[in-house]
Amino acid sequence: MKRFTFLVLFLLVPIFELAAQSSVQVEFDTLTVAEVEQMAGMSVDSIRLFADAGDATAQFYLGVYYDQTPFTDLGKARYWYEKADAQGDADAAFYLGCMYDVGRGVPKDNHRAFEYYLKSAENDQVLAANNLAWCYALGQGVKQDYAAAAPWAQKAADAGIPAAQRLLGVLYTSGYGLPRDSTEAFRWTYRAARQDDAQAALNLAAMLAGGIGCERNLSLAREWALKAQAAQVEGSNEMLEAIDESIAGEKRLQKFGVTREQVKQMTDAESVKLLQKMAAAGDVEAQYSLASGYYGGHWGIKKNYKKARYWYREAAKNGSEEAKRALKELGW
C-alpha cells in the first residue's frame, strides 16, 4: 500500500552496478632490484643463470625484473613471462594476463587476458581467480556468465581477496549466479569492508540502512558511508544524504510516538490521520505531503483545492522550496 513521501523513510536498497565497481586487479608495482632479489632469494646474476638454464621460477622473476624495476624492458618482461608460463608457472600466466588486460607492452586484448587468468587460476593463483570471476561477471573477454563467476569468486574470497568477497556479496544480493541470500551477502560484504575495500564499505552502508541481511542500523550505516566518502567512492555523497534524511525522518516520527515499522503497517486512513497530526504540529514535510494529497486526491483523501492551497502555503512559510514551486506553478 502506497505511503506518503514523508512517511516512506528511504529504504536504501543497494543497487550494485558491477561495471562501476569492477575490481580486476593488475599487479604493476615499482620494485627495487634488491626487492626482486629478496623475493627470488638470489641475486639478479643468479636469476639470469637459472633462467637461461630453464628454471621456470627464475624466468618468472627475470620477467618481474624487466617489468617492475627501473631497468624496465617490457619486451623482455613478456619474453621471460612467456618462457615461465610455458612451463606452467601460474604467477607468470597471471602477469601476462595483467599485461593484456591494460595493454602494458602489448596490444590490449581482453580475451587473451581472460585466457591467461583462466590458466593461472586453474593452477591456484588466487589473484587470477579474482580477475577471472570479474571477467565472467562483467563479460570482459568472455561471454557474461554469473554462474561461472561464482565459484572463482568463492575461491578468491576464501583466500582473503577483498574484491572477490565484495563480488560474492553482490552475487548473493542480486541472486545472479547464486541463490539470493541476504545473510551471506552481508557476511561477505562486511568481510571485504573490514579489509578497507572502499566500494564494499558503501555497499555495506546500503545494506545496514536497508536492513538487508542484518538488523537495520542507520548510525552504523553512516559510519561506513563516511569511510566510502573519505575514499571518494562514487555515490557515497548521495548515500550519506539519504541516510541523514532517514535519521531525521525517524526522529520526526519519534516525536509523535510512532516508529518506522509501525508506519509501514498502517492503513491509508491511519497514515492520513498521522499526517494531519504532524502537519498541524508544524512538520513542514507533512504539510507538503498533505497538500499534495488534497491536490491529487491521493491515499484516499478527497480532492480539495482549498485545503491543498492552505497546506502548500503553510509548508512554504516554513521553508519548503517544493511547496513554493507548487504554489508558483499553480498560480496560488
Residue ranges making up the domain that contains 139: 20-143
**pLDDT value of residue 332:** 92
Asked if residue 101 lies in contact with residue 131, where contact means CB atoms within 8 angstroms, the answer is yes
Q: Using alpha carbons only, how large is the chain's radius of gyration in Å?
A: 28
**Same domain for 251 and 274?**
no
The answer as to whether 316 is a domain residue is yes
46-61 mean pLDDT: 97
Domain count, the chain: 3
Asked if residue 21 lies in contact with residue 173, where contact means CB atoms within 8 angstroms, the answer is no
Question: Residue 185 is inside which H or E element, if any?
Answer: helix 182-194
**Same domain for 219 and 250?**
yes
The CA distances from residue 173 to 81, 318, 328, in Å, are 38, 41, 43
The single residue listed with the C-alpha cell 600466466 is 93
Q: What is the CATH number of the domain that holds 196?
A: 1.25.40.10
**Same domain for 248 and 285?**
no
How many percent of the chain have pLDDT more than 90?
Answer: 83
Q: Pick from 258, 261, 268, 294: which is nearest to 1 by CA?
A: 268
**pLDDT value of residue 10:** 30
**Same domain for 274 and 172?**
no
Q: What is the DSSP letter of 93?
A: H
Residue 14 has pLDDT above 60, yes or no: no
**Same domain for 164 and 250?**
yes
325-330 mean pLDDT: 94
The answer as to whether 9 is a domain residue is no
Q: Give the pLDDT confidence of 193-208 residue by residue, as tens digits.
A: 999 999 999 999 999 9
Q: Which of 239, 256, 273 is the last residue of a domain?
A: 256
Q: Which of 206, 221, 256 is the last residue of a domain?
A: 256
| pTM metric for this prediction | 0.83
**Same domain for 217 and 270?**
no
Residue 16 has pLDDT above 70, yes or no: no
The x, y and z cell numbers of residue 157, run together, are 574470497
3-state secondary structure of 314: helix
**Same domain for 49 and 136?**
yes
**pLDDT value of residue 87:** 97
**Same domain for 246 and 293?**
no
**Same domain for 252 and 270?**
no
Residue 11 has pLDDT above 50, yes or no: no
> In angstroms, rounded to a whole number, what is the distance separating the alpha carbons of residues 201 and 194?
8
**pLDDT value of residue 60:** 97
Q: Give the pLDDT confidence of 273-284 residue by residue, as tens digits.
A: 999 999 999 999
227-254 mean pLDDT: 92
Residues 6+ apart with CB under 8 A from 238: none
Q: Which amino acid is at 26?
A: V
Give, to the nearest 10 degrees, the angle between helix 218-230 and helix 236-255.
160
Q: Give Cα 104 to chain centroid, integer Å.
A: 27
Q: Which amino acid is at 20?
A: A
**Same domain for 25 and 139?**
yes
pLDDT band for position 18 (cuts 50, 70, 90):
low
The answer as to whether 165 is a domain residue is yes
How many percent of the chain have pLDDT more than 70?
Answer: 92
**Same domain for 214 and 279?**
no
**pLDDT value of residue 264:** 84
**pLDDT value of residue 5:** 32
